Amino acid sequence: MTPPGVPVHVVRDSTLRVKILDACGMTCTFCHNEGTPVAVDNRRRPLGDFTTAGPSGRVSIYAATNGAAFLPAPVPANEQLGHALAALRDAMHLTEVHLTGGEPTLHPAVARLTKIATEAGLRVGMTSNGEHGADVLPDCAAAGLDRVNFSIFGTTAAELAEVQHARYRDADRAQRKIDALKRSIAACEAHGVKASANIVVLDYSHAPRVHRLLDEYSPHLSVRLLNSLDHGTASVEAIERILAERGAVAETHYITAGVSGSRTAYRLPDGRRVYFKQIRRVRLPETCAGCRFNNDTDCQEGFYGVRLYYDRTGRYQVGVCIQRMDLCMTLDDFLTGPVLAEVLALREVEYDRLTRRHAA
């Protein structure tokens, strides 16, 4: 929802998300894992017969129902990736690639992957929990990494331990993860990489962690507050109350045409910017039309954009929904099939509609 009187800036979506590996050192109980099954728990299982509760303690919350038919493998840092990115760049008019996981900083060649993407003319971002960033982010920065979105699951050891698998709810372990996150943020600052923090606010009980993030973490960290769809108005009202407590003033509302993301930028009295990120109701008009999740409660993120995966058979797969991994197709099939045209058409229709609405 756009705050009244706030200018609206509309841009076309031009970002590709790439899951570069599945490994992660955390066991967050709410992880969607980009829609794929947890690889370490399924390496010896036949394709399509995946378990959702293995010895790693990790989860992929949609894997039991999303129809995933492949297991992810680490993306190789080779010419094949460069060709895949170039083909999608040209077909979709991409300007940015966003590296995800698992935890991307655990990929042994993450800096080389970054370089391959920048050599393809793409700006490179990353989503990270920060557990290994201090070791690899300097090299990634040298390779052209533009920004890192740190996912903050807790600002204290107790908060972080609370959302881990029962076997890993250890305060000392959680504190080591918090310390590693802070070192990763510092590495970004030292090497000229923009850093932001994404934190989901379930309800007002989460207000102390937001205030702690703003007061105790680096002042150079851009903070983005995300509402929880599962918690409905309680989440939205909590964020609005927190922003009011900080004296935040809405400045600009940003909408990305063609995908479900939108955000409002607020300015704090000290000049710092905080963002309120929300999901819009965006669906692919044909692909989503008959989907069993296409309602106001079951579809968690709508059409969030195109994702690229690398499977253990050595093929690139393209996905359009983490709750419907059965919709994934090979890269060649995507580039020559109707879904690409549908994605591009949705982007243009939305851009025209939104720019007309907000120009009036």
pLDDT of residue 98: 98
| Tokens standing for residue 340 | 């690409």
**Strand residues in the chain grouped as ranges (E):** 8-12, 15-19, 96-100, 123-128, 145-151, 194-201, 222-227, 249-257, 261-267, 273-279, 307-310, 316-319, 329-330
Helix, strand, or coil (residue 356) = helix
pLDDT in tens, 83-107: 999 999 999 999 999 999 999 999 9
Residue-by-residue DSSP string for 285-346: TTTTTT-TT-STTT-SS-S---EEEEBTTS-EEEES-TT-GGG-EEHHHHHHSHHHHHHHHH
Weakest-pLDDT range from 76-85, 212-221, 242-251: 212-221
- Where residue 360 falls among pLDDT bands split at 50, 70, 90? low
Is 149's pLDDT higher than 90? Answer: yes
Mean pLDDT across the chain, nearest whole number? 94
The domain spans of the chain are 8-359
**Banded pLDDT at 1 (limits 50, 70, 90):** low
Compute the distance between CA of residue 29 and CA of residue 215 in angstroms, rounded to an integer.
27
Segment 233-239 shows an average pLDDT of 95
> Which residue, among 105, 165, 146, has the nearest Cα to 129 in the 3D structure?
105
CATH class of the 8-359 domain in this structure = alpha beta
Encoded tokens for 228 = 């929880």
d(CA 149, CA 127): 5
- Helix, strand or coil, per DSSP, at residue 124: strand
Six-digit token string for 195: 């850093």
Whole-model pTM over 0.75: yes
Question: How many CB atoms are located within 10 Å of the residue 112 CB?
Answer: 17
Rounded average pLDDT over 190-199: 96
Helices and strands, counts by H and E, the chain? 9, 13
Mean pLDDT on 4-29: 95
User: Is pLDDT above 80 for 338?
Assistant: yes
Question: Can you tell me the distance from the alpha carbon of 273 to that of 110, in angstroms, rounded to the nearest whole number?
Answer: 29
Q: What is the pLDDT of residues 261-277, one digit of tens each?
A: 899 999 999 999 999 99
